[in-house]
Amino acid sequence: MLFRNKDKQDRLAAVLGQALHAAPADIAGRSPWADARGRFLRNKAAVFSLGLLAFITLCCIAGPWLLPHAFDAADWDAMSLPPTLKNAHFFGTDESGRDLLVRSLVGGRVSLLVGFLATLSAVTLGIVWGATAGFLGGRVDAFMMRVVDMMYAVPYLLIAILMVTILGRAFYLVVITITVFSWMDMARVVRGQTLSLRSKEFIEAARALGVPTRRIIFQHIVPNLLGIVVIYTTVTVPAVILVESVLSFLGLGIQEPMTSWGVLIHDGASVMEVSSWMLLFPAGLLSLTLYCFNYIGDGLRDALDPKER
């Protein structure tokens, strides 16, 4: 019996030793971000959309340098040419003989750049505004959120037309115009999350230790909002790209000789009955990009959902 019990004790000690050695790796593997990454990678639609979006972005960045045509170079011998392998006009040409493939890639570069810059500005402004309002509360919160309500009441398209008409149609003005009317949703979301966070124990402990309000907001509140911010960003980028396309379609956004998907769609819509490819390709790229962002946003929402942990 003694030897048998000793054997059992040795086996138990060996098992416990293996468990203790494996514990750090297991704990590291069960971290919230590791779990979120695993859930996102299991979403095939989101992963495929992320790869496709990366491919489109890479083509828009590097493609115009690799193709033999300049985006503003006219080929008078190939005006309104349908898609063909002749002279490497794979997407055809427009009414001025400019290669549509190069122009679509350059237009995608401009539209994506506007989308990312305006979204970054809007998200940053929304985080600062919403976190400050939610954490301070009281009259400060009431005043700041009334400002947001007033911004919602302003006719977006009318003000955008006035700003672009008065200030001009430069690239940075388009970004500013879109940013001004894109940060309010972020501010509302962040404010609501901050109201629930400011009563947590770690915030009360920071207050008791005398941590300045600014440090509490940016070092304790904002990092805990990262999940919702990432999800909102993937939703905002396609919305901003669509707004830029609408402004450009109306002649209020990017102007010639520069181009964007909205400009190309505007040009293609005017000749769609005789040159349908001029509308099909830029509209297809825009739609494909928007779908990619939407599927990525759905994947991130499911991956970062606390109920799934």
Helix (H) / strand (E) element for 119: namely helix 100-136
Architecture of domain 40-71+81-308: Orthogonal Bundle (1.10)
Q: Output the pLDDT for position 309.
A: 52
Q: Output the pLDDT for position 10.
A: 57
Closest CA to 297 of 45, 60, 33, 126: 45
How many angstroms separate the CA atoms of 186 and 122, rounded? 8
Q: Cβ distance 206 to 217 under 8 Å?
A: no
Q: Output the pLDDT for position 165.
A: 75
Is the whole model's pTM more than 0.85, yes or no? no
Domain spans of the chain, in order of start: 40-71+81-308
Q: Cβ distance 236 to 119 under 8 Å?
A: yes
Per-residue tens of pLDDT for the chain, all 309 residues:
444 555 545 554 554 455 445 444 444 445 666 777 888 888 899 999 999 999 999 999 998 888 888 888 777 777 878 887 767 778 888 888 888 889 999 999 998 998 899 999 999 999 999 988 988 888 999 999 999 988 888 887 777 778 777 777 777 888 888 888 888 888 998 898 888 888 788 888 888 888 888 888 888 888 888 778 888 888 888 888 888 888 887 777 777 778 888 888 888 888 888 888 888 999 999 999 999 998 998 888 888 765 555
Closest CA to 180 of 156, 147, 150, 145: 156
User: Alpha-carbon dihedral of residues 278, 284, 286, 288, nearest 10 degrees?
Assistant: -170
How many angstroms separate the CA atoms of 225 and 222, rounded? 5
